[in-house]
Structure formats: C-alpha cells, structure tokens
Amino acid sequence: MPELLDEQAGFVRRIGLFQATAINMSQMCGIGPFVTIPLMVAAFGGPQAVLGFLAGAVLALADGLIWAELGASLPGAGGSYVYLRQAFQYRTGKLMPFLFVWTAMLFIPLGMSTGVIGFVQYLGYLWPEMTQGQGDLVGLVVTVGIVVLLWRRVENVARLTVVLWTVMIAAVALVIVAAFTHFSPERAFTYPAHAIELTSGHFWAGFAAGLTIGIYDYLGYNTVAYMGAEIRRPGRTVPRAVITSILGIMTVYLLLQIGTLGVVHWQDMLDPHSTASTSVASAVLEKAWGRGAAEAVTVLILITAVASVFTGLLGGSRVPYDAARDRVFFRRYGTLHPRHRFPVLGLLTMGGVMAAGFLLGRHTDLATVIQLLTTVMVIVQSLAQVAAVTVLRRRQPGLRRPYRMWLYPLPSIVALAGWLVIYGWADRNAPGRHPIEWSLAWVAAGVAAFVLWARREKEWPFGPKRIDERYLHGADPDAERPPGRAQGGGGGEGGEGTVETAG
C-alpha cells in the first residue's frame, strides 16, 4: 500500500476503508439524533416525525452519490474546495473556491458547536443543578480538549476515532435495545388527526423543517472527502465509505426514532420541563431499565458527542489548507505542523469559531444554529456541487472516474430539489432569525473580500485565469507505486497541469 501522498502537499495516505467509514459514522451520528428527536416531533406535531428522518435519508443518499463521484475522481485535501476549483475555474477563476472556504470557515465549526451544545444538554441529566454559567464553562473546556486531542499525527487520530466509534455504536445500540424491550406500537404509530394531509400548508411547513433537521442529523457522510489526500486508494475507499455510512446510519436512526416514540409519549418531548425534551435517550433508558442504567448510558452518549465533534473538526480543519497552498486563502493556513503533519492554523481557527457558535446556541436555541449553518452551507456548497458534477463531466470528460454516480442525473435532481426546499423555507422555519438574509449577507461579504484579494493578487477578473487540470493529467492515486514517488492532487500554485488564459 502506498503511504506517501505527494511531496507538494505533505499529507500521507494512511486511512483505510474501515477507519474512513468509522470517521464518517462517528461524525454523522454523534449527539445529533439524541437532541433532535424532540425538535423533529415539534416540527411535525406528532410521531409522524419519522417522515423527517426518511426524507433526510433520501436527500443524504442523493447528495452522497455526488460526493462519491467527486471524491473518487478528485481526491485532494479540502473536499468541496477542490471540486469547485476544478469545475468553475473556466468561467469565474477562483471565485467559487474562495467563497467556499469563506463560508466553510463558518458553517463547519457551527455544525461542530451543536455537538457541544448537545453534550451540555445531556450532562444536565447527570448534573441537574448545573447553572447556565457552569454549562457555558463546561462547553468551552470540552472545545479546548477536542483541539488538544487533534494535536497529533493523523494515523494516531484514526486509531482514536475507531475507539470513539465503538463507544458510539454501543451507546446507540443500548438505547435501541432499551426502547424495544418496552416498546408500545400504539404509542409509536398512533398519529394525530390529519397528521399527513398533503394538501395542507401546515404539513409542508413541518416537512421542510423536518427535512432540515433530518439532513443535519445525516451531515458527516462527506467528512472522509475532506480528507481525500489522506485516504488509501481513494477511488474505491471514498465512495464505499460515503454510501456505507449513509445506509448504516439510516438504519440506526429509524430504529432509534421509532423505538423512542414507542416508549416516551411524543407530547412529553414538547414539554420544556420534561427530561424527554432535553435528554430523550436518558428518559427512554430510565423508563426501561431504571435511573442507574440511564446514567451509565448517558456517559456513553457524552463520549459519542465528543466523537462527533472530534471527527468533524478533524476533517473540517483540512479545508483551508489546500486553498492556502493555491493562494486562494491566507497563506499561513497552508502550513502543516512540522512533526505531526496536520494544519495548525485551520484547526485553531475552527476551534475558536466552534466555541463562539456554542455560546450563540446556548443563549438562543439549537434550532437557530442549525438553520444558520444549513442556509450558509446550501448556497455555496450544496447547490454548487450539484452543478459541479455536470460541469466536470462536460469540461473534463477524460478525468479518471473510478466511481460514476448511479442513475445520473436523477440523484442530482433529487438533491437539487431537497436543498432548494430547505433554503426556501428557512426564514419560515426560523421566524425572527432571518437565516436567508444572514447567509446572503455572508456571501456578499465574501464576494467583496474576493474582489479585494483578486485585485491585490492580480487574479481574475484583474488578471488571467489560471486553469489547473492536475487531476486530469495526474497519476492514478489508487495505483500501487514505490513510497516517495509523487502522486497527483497536491496543493501549490503552478503545479502540473496548470496553464494561464487571458480570461
């Protein structure tokens, strides 16, 4: 197995299929379903909330197939940054990758902050006297601790991730088993009158809110793509890890959701004074096996929350690295730790934004943070990647594609429709918070920053477009070769396959 990625980027291909899948699943599951089941029930107004998780699974799978094709054919550090750079460079130069990094520095750590919020919520079950200030302090300490845990070589991080993934599986499995040992089909499947009325605007408003929560719970299936430069045989590993993790987590979520609704009455989840509204898994375990068992498994859930944030920050911290190497972001972000070979400034910056997002969520609500991170992500990453698959098939038909999307273009159409629903209903689902306006303002600020940067660097539109086709002309990263020989896909301006055009 080749270990050295390439001499330019400095990353090492040491993460195999099992570790890649564990990284994805740890990030996908984490604390998400344990804190969002009450939110989903509130969105739908009853146990028909299971529709939200099903809708989220469909969108995740459709979008996951897009990630699988792009990640297999463009296995570089930074995920979407690489894909948007390769697809849109022909018309708009470096605008799209710049905007992606600009927004990713916000939405990735915001997503991680929700995991810390969930950690503090469940800690409240073990520490009911915890004050607001104490909870804030605990969350900040957890954030710092995760950054410290990531301050090491990636192969050590991968081994630690497998341990955390094992704890996550144990926690979820115990909650599911507890739920189905005390399961009431009548409680789980008795829906309120007119619960599923397709002609009702109220139903579709709930569906849009539920789809947003559902896809938030599945987010993380793309984590391994951000680490494409560190994956062994990425043409095979990335698609398998993405698809396997989505199908596995879908099964887990459906069992967890249905099992929980069969033990805890859905109306209790809407009561702010009920344990079920903040620590629903602990409430299930307490009803099934007693307080002692609930406290023990709550500890596992806390570890699961840490695992989710840990793996998300692991992948997200790689995003600005490749951009900085290409001089599309601040150049200091292109520096790796001299000994452990991880991006230092990317990790520290995202850790700081994650801490700020945690405090925002603690002093507003979790749903607000979810809406903000989702709208910012959709407008620059999700919708742009749907287009990128088609653009690359037309612009680079000779690009090596170890995996080609099944049933193309159907998954792209499904993903496009899902993301438009989420974005279009965002303001209605977060009244008074204006997530659409905030997302547009953030992107507008990014465009202004790009103009200033491009003028200083004499990039398009103030200079020639630099067309980079390194993956089109590069070596096969899945091929066996002696260690130390460079492979295509690293960062760095002016690499193989880079040409300038007059714009």
Six token digits for residue 394: 């037309």
User: 159: buried, middle or exposed (CB in 10 Å: 19+, 13-18, 0-12)?
Assistant: exposed
How many Cα neighbours within 13 Å face the side chain of 333?
26
Closest CA to 449 of 105, 108, 95, 106: 95
Q: Are 358 and 143 in contact (CB under 8 A)?
A: yes
Q: In 317-434, where does DSSP find H-type helix?
A: 319-325, 344-363, 366-377, 383-395, 410-424, 426-429
CA angle (384 as vertex; 382, 389 as ends), nearest 5: 100
Q: Are 126 and 300 in contact (CB under 8 A)?
A: no
Residue 185's CB: how many other CB atoms inside 10 A?
9
pLDDT tens, position by position, for the chain (503 residues)? 333 334 344 677 888 998 899 888 877 877 788 888 999 999 998 899 999 999 999 999 999 999 999 999 999 877 888 899 999 999 999 999 999 988 988 888 988 898 899 999 999 999 999 999 999 999 999 999 998 888 876 656 667 777 877 888 888 899 999 999 999 999 999 888 877 887 777 888 889 989 999 998 998 898 888 888 889 899 999 999 999 999 999 998 999 999 999 999 999 998 888 888 889 999 999 999 999 999 999 999 898 888 778 877 877 787 787 678 777 877 788 888 777 677 888 889 999 999 999 998 888 877 778 888 888 899 889 999 999 999 999 999 999 999 999 999 999 999 999 999 999 888 776 667 788 898 899 999 999 989 988 898 888 999 988 888 888 877 677 764 433 333 333 444 444 455 566 55
Closest CA to 374 of 313, 321, 427, 447: 427
Residue 235's CB: how many other CB atoms inside 10 A?
19
Q: What is the Cα 221 distance to its own chain's centre? A: 7
Closest CA to 406 of 222, 230, 239, 224: 239
